[in-house]
């Protein structure tokens, strides 16, 4: 009998790779934070002597969900300003509020609140895009949560950095600080074509080539953005990114609601990863990302919640449902983005967006043991005919019972053993007072 | 001190009428199943001597949610066939499955499962549209759940009735059986213009005038339905309903994805109630109901989940979110269907769709005490800035703690005191075997 750290049995395992498979009565063997094997339950019991043995019943075990685009400190601004379009929402509400609170404490408390919500909803990793990436990385590391922190680049001063040079200097220091960290990686995160100049983009391209990390960029969020750019410069932002040499396999392009067929082909040919944020796009009336067309062209499409101020939650199960439903409506085809496709967006595609395609996103030997268990024995899940469809179309986040990250159990029976929820809630209430003050 | 049955205190009360109001530190006084008063907490404590006293903390008390279009027995077909358009979904999957199981036991077990799910999600009433309305009504009455059962009319034989005359005879017997029932009312439920002939519609018009009950009809669910009718008869189905005298204030028109501006104006002038089923419309790629236009024209728009086979849940909190988000995307306007508008759709507008506008749908003295409490102290609800927005954009159904129907507590602290969940689940699993058998 082979000694291992952990064996998890489940009635159903949905490994994502191989694609579109649901295995009955299987078990996942974990050792030293990694997946050692995925095999039939009876074989596992005969082969392994686990130090910890978890028997899930009428549940499905999945790779941990990956939120491919978030601004987690903004969880403290959940519902600060609703039912407004992007421009007044940002300029009249979000930016002034951020001006009042931006700093180490706000970022740390917001990220802790977000981690609690994400763990309870089955999310094990996120692709972060905000100021103070050092604080974000440290907070995630402290709670055992996996993150890719974006190195922010934007052409205006903030509490994080005053000048372009300072953005790059501080950002590179963050990259160095987390080099080799098992849970924290980095990306380059220029805010958007309309807030970042060509000189910065050129430095980003050089750094990308040097460091080999993704470029995480808001792109074509609205038709207005595309039209404004064309009026001003004669070029669509995507075209400008092409001219700057940024459209390649390292580009993680978020939103992409406004795309020509030719641009979709360019994305496919270049290996761009698109991050779709359906609830944010709907809430801000930003437009509809042509997800079915992108997938048909062979583009990798991941899923993000965006920040809580434009969603207003970090619920990837809900986001999968919205993505699967909306894609059908937009394509006029009920076959578009089926349940398995939605689950791939929230797992393996998100892994790629984080620059971690080889490390997470599926239950395969050698990968990190980032796992989530979803109960199917609740009244809301009965009866079920197809496990994947059940999760996407009827699942809700409180059916998530257990979460492991790198083999460590971070949610156990719906409870968070390592987090002080009362303290997190008390701090959230205090920030509400400061943020709401006008 | 005035003796009453029940006093419920809450940090927040959202009464729906008056519109767009959230009251802090209020209480609802209930006696004999009805709301006696809604008043500040301190006044209530000075005035009433309640036999039962419930102190909700950081919660919001709302009128019970109303599901304005459901086929609840189909909860047993949750996820039977997904990612398919309406026609093959119905003809190749749903109808054959119904043929195998239709009858008293299937309808009763499906409705019990649905009631458990609805109560746990804050729904206190539903507008039902299915065969065996007698069984549906009796099952709801037994569990203290409020329902308007549709009298089904369709031009093909079923286990419920073999001929047109039998549909009307059995339906009228159901109407008579529930006359005066405090929880069960009736409507006329011709299936759709493409499955019901003019002769039946004429009888329905006469019965409507005689009985004074709503006509609950699937109408303009897809563009295909409208185009087929126009090719066959030269008339759009809405036009045919006008010619038959059915477009008036008793018409409850479900789906309405395909509407001209003139038809929207006719709906407004006639006082038609539209029921929007956003998740079903998306899932079957049926089209987009122009909700913002309908509301701007003054049309009452209620909210329904449709059956669980095309949703796949009975979660009205989720449906409010989908409705509010989707309306913004479709209208291209982030101001469309704000949080209060979505809550009105799921309460007072639904009351009207059920023919119960004077009895339920708002927290007003004299109305039935159908109430729901939603917790705001969970991590996923923190922080909150606007209570209405919090429920619609960040709320999830497991935050529902308590539900009262006609003053009786049917959900208490998230538990169902009067239902045997294990028995309901066991029966759901048995039906799954029979339904899945090919």
Judgement on whether residues A332 and A386 belong to the same structural domain of the protein? no
> Which residues of chain A have a CB within 8 Å of the CB of B284?
328, 334
- A87 pLDDT band, cuts 50/70/90, is confident
Judgement on whether residues A22 and A158 belong to the same structural domain of the protein? no
Residue B360: inside a domain, yes or no? Answer: no
- A82 pLDDT band, cuts 50/70/90, is very high
Judgement on whether residues A57 and A93 belong to the same structural domain of the protein? no
Residue B216: inside a domain, yes or no? Answer: yes
pLDDT in tens, A255-305: 999 999 999 999 999 999 999 999 999 999 999 999 999 999 999 999 999
Q: Which residues make Cβ contacts (< 8 Å) with residue A161, sequence separation at least 6?
A: A152, A167, A169, A170
Q: Residue range A314-343: average pLDDT?
A: 98
**What distance in Å separates the CA atoms of residue B14 and residue B341, rounded to the nearest whole number?**
13
Judgement on whether residues B88 and B146 belong to the same structural domain of the protein? yes
- To 5 degrees, how large is the angle CA A257–CA A262–CA A264? 45
With residue A353 as reference, give the H or E element that holds it: helix A348-353
- Cβ of B86 within 8 Å of Cβ of A334? The answer is yes
Nearest residue on chain B to A390, alpha-carbon basis: B79
Judgement on whether residues B279 and B140 belong to the same structural domain of the protein? yes
Residue A419: inside a domain, yes or no? Answer: no
Residue A436: inside a domain, yes or no? Answer: no
- A438 pLDDT band, cuts 50/70/90, is low
Residue B235, Cβ density class (10 Å: 0-12 exposed, 13-18 middle, ≥19 buried): middle
**DSSP E strands, B209-293:** 215-219, 251-255, 273-276
Judgement on whether residues A374 and A248 belong to the same structural domain of the protein? no
Judgement on whether residues B344 and B257 belong to the same structural domain of the protein? yes
Whether the predicted pLDDT of A85 surpasses 90 = no
Judgement on whether residues B161 and B133 belong to the same structural domain of the protein? yes
Domain of B113, CATH number, reads 3.20.20.140
Q: Specify the DSSP class assigned to residue A272.
A: P
Return the percentage of chain A with pLDDT > 90, whole number. 97
Final residue before a domain boundary, out of B308, B326, B353 = B353
- Cβ of A329 within 8 Å of Cβ of B83? The answer is no
Nearest to A385 among B331, B338, B436 (CB): B436
Q: Which residues make Cβ contacts (< 8 Å) with residue A119, sequence separation at least 6?
A: A145, A403, A410, A411, A416, A419
CB of B438 within 8 Å of a chain A CB? The answer is: no
- What domain range is A389 assigned to? 2-63+370-411
Transcribe B9-60 into DSSP letters: EEEEE--SSSTT--EEEEEEEEETTEEEEEEEHHHHHHHEEEEEEEE--SEE
> Which residues of chain B have a CB within 8 Å of the CB of A116?
379
Test the B interface: residue of A292, A336, A379, A399 with most B CBs within 10 Å: A379
- Largest Cα–Cα distance of chain A, in whole Å? 69
pLDDT in tens, B252-293: 999 999 999 999 999 999 999 999 999 999 999 999 999 999
Helix B164-177 vs helix B133-142: angle between axes, to the nearest 10 degrees? 20
- Name the stretches of chain B with pLDDT < 50: none
Q: Is the pTM of this model over 0.95?
A: yes
CB of B68 within 8 Å of a chain A CB? The answer is: no
Domain count of the fold of chain A: 2
Judgement on whether residues A384 and A332 belong to the same structural domain of the protein? no
Look at residues A293, A300, A308, A236 and name the one whose alpha carbon lies nearest to residue A261: A293
Give the pair of three-digit tokens for residue B94.
């749903």
pLDDT in tens, B359-389: 999 999 999 999 999 999 999 999 999 999 9
Nearest to A325 among B78, B283, B435 (CB): B283
Look at residues B365, B362, B348 and name the one whose alpha carbon lies nearest to residue B31: B365
Residue A432: inside a domain, yes or no? Answer: no
- Cβ of B322 within 8 Å of Cβ of A322? The answer is yes
**What distance in Å separates the CA atoms of residue A256 and residue A279, rounded to the nearest whole number?**
14
């Amino acid at each position: 009998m082979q000694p291992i750290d952990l064996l998890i049995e489940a009635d159903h395992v949905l490994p994502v790779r191989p694609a579109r498979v649901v295995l009955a009565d299987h078990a996942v063997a974990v050792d030293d934070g990694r997946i050692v094997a995925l095999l039939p339950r009876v074989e596992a019991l005969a082969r392994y002597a686990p130090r910890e043995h978890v028997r899930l019943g009428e549940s499905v075990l999945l790779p941990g969900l990956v939120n491919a685009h978030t601004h987690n400190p903004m969880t403290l601004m959940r519902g600060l300003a609703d039912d407004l379009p992007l421009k007044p929402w940002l300029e009249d509400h979000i930016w002034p509020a951020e001006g009042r609170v931006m700093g180490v404490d706000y970022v740390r408390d917001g990220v802790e609140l977000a981690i609690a919500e994400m763990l309870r909803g089955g999310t094990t990793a996120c692709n972060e895009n905000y100021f103070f990436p050092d604080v974000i990385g440290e907070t995630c590391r402290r709670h055992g949560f996996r993150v890719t922190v974006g190195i922010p680049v934007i052409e205006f001063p903030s509490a994080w950095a005053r000048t372009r040079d300072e953005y790059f200097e501080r950002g590179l220091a963050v990259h160095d600080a987390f080099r080799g960290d098992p849970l924290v990686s980095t990306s380059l995160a220029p805010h958007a074509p309309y807030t970042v100049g060509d000189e910065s983009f050129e430095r980003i391209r050089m750094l990308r080539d040097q460091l080999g990390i993704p470029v995480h960029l808001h792109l074509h969020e609205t038709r207005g953005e595309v039209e404004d750019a064309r009026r001003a410069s004669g070029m669509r932002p995507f075209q400008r990114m092409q001219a700057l040499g940024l459209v390649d396999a390292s580009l993680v392009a978020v939103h992409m609601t406004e795309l020509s067929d030719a641009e979709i082909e360019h994305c496919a040919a270049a290996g761009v990863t698109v991050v779709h944020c359906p609830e944010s796009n709907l809430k801000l009336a930003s437009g509809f990302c042509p997800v079915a067309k992108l997938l048909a062209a062979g583009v990798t499409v991941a899923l993000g919640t965006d920040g809580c101020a434009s969603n207003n939650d970090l619920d990837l199960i809900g986001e999968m449902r919205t993505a699967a439903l909306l894609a059908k409506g937009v394509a006029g085809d009920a076959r578009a983005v089926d349940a398995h496709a939605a689950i791939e967006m929230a797992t393996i595609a998100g892994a790629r967006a984080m620059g971690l395609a080889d490390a997470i996103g599926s239950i395969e030997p050698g990968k990190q043991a980032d796992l989530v268990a979803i109960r199917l024995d609740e009244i809301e899940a009965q009866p079920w005919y197809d496990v994947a469809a059940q999760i996407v179309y009827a699942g809700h986040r409180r059916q998530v019972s257990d979460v492991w990250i790198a083999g460590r159990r971070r949610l156990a029976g719906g409870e968070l053993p390592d987090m002080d929820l009362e303290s997190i809630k008390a701090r959230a209430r205090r920030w509400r007072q400061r943020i709401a003050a006008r």
